[in-house]
Structure 1
């Protein structure tokens, strides 16, 4: 994780760059180990190497979930994130029987939006100055896919 978490280009839109291996270890303990349900490492099988993370935050009272992800820039554009996120969509709709899954991204990071489109999500809008990231107020795009859309897309492919 430290390999990509310490790379500014990889984490530019997600979190502050890790300054040390100790920072990464603390992040793993505080975020991943403290509440591990729904948080996954993405491993490159052939290399036996962790190349990213993906998580799903389920809101059972609303039958919805949000997914978020980070991927080592050396593996961008190769379909790994789409594969991992599709597995979470399958979990959300086929096992948890949720009604909607959504994801957000900084509007300055359109590549993340392209992943969302490949998942069958639709752009629902832009939340203007929605959050502060690295000291800057940013616009956030939101994409979503409904249960019936997921199953319709599954029939097509």
Structure 2
């Protein structure tokens, strides 16, 4: 089998029925700032960006410095950049961690579920991982609903699991195994 890095590099652009998952560049800064500066969108995920320079710095440090497995979500028909999704691979354990953020203007349209299935296809069919996990702040059940639609199983809640926005938060953990994946 090829290395995970090689396989992810070969699959930097993924097309679905309505979306294009692709590398993130500085050209995405304005669209990312539109949601990264919105408290409702970022409430459970990351510190709200106060300036577009913060967004540009985030793009440089997180997405450009180490782009493998990190994707911008673009609507194919309009080229609108609406969010991000990533899979972080644990090579030793043949597992992946799924993370995502979506502009609230696009919530409720099935875009994140569609992007999530693309990531699970990548994880199980191309990378041949055994397990993919994800988590969400328990105060954000909509994120958990995405995980459930992807076929993930709730595994438990870790209390005060992360320190986010000056407080400890409880995280609900989900996973799906290769043999459970039905898409």
Task: Give the TM-score normalised by structure 1.
Answer: 0.95
| Structure 2 equivalent of residue 144 of structure 1 | 175
Q: What is the aligned counterpart of 2:68 among 37, 42, 63?
A: 37
* 2:110 is aligned with 1:79: yes
Matches within 5 A, 1:1-157: 1-150=32-181, 153-154=182-183
| Cα shift at 1:49 | 1.2
Cα separation, 2, equivalents of 1:78 and 1:137: 31
Structure 2 residue ranges without an equivalent (≥5): 1-31
* Residues 96-135 of structure 1, C-alpha deviations (whole Å, 9 max, x = no match): 1110001000000000000000000000000111111111
| Structure 1 equivalent of residue 16 of structure 2 | none
Residue 10 of structure 1: SS of its match in structure 2? Answer: helix
Structure 1 residue ranges without an equivalent (≥5): none
| Cα shift at 1:47 | 2.3
Residue 112 of structure 1: SS of its match in structure 2? Answer: helix
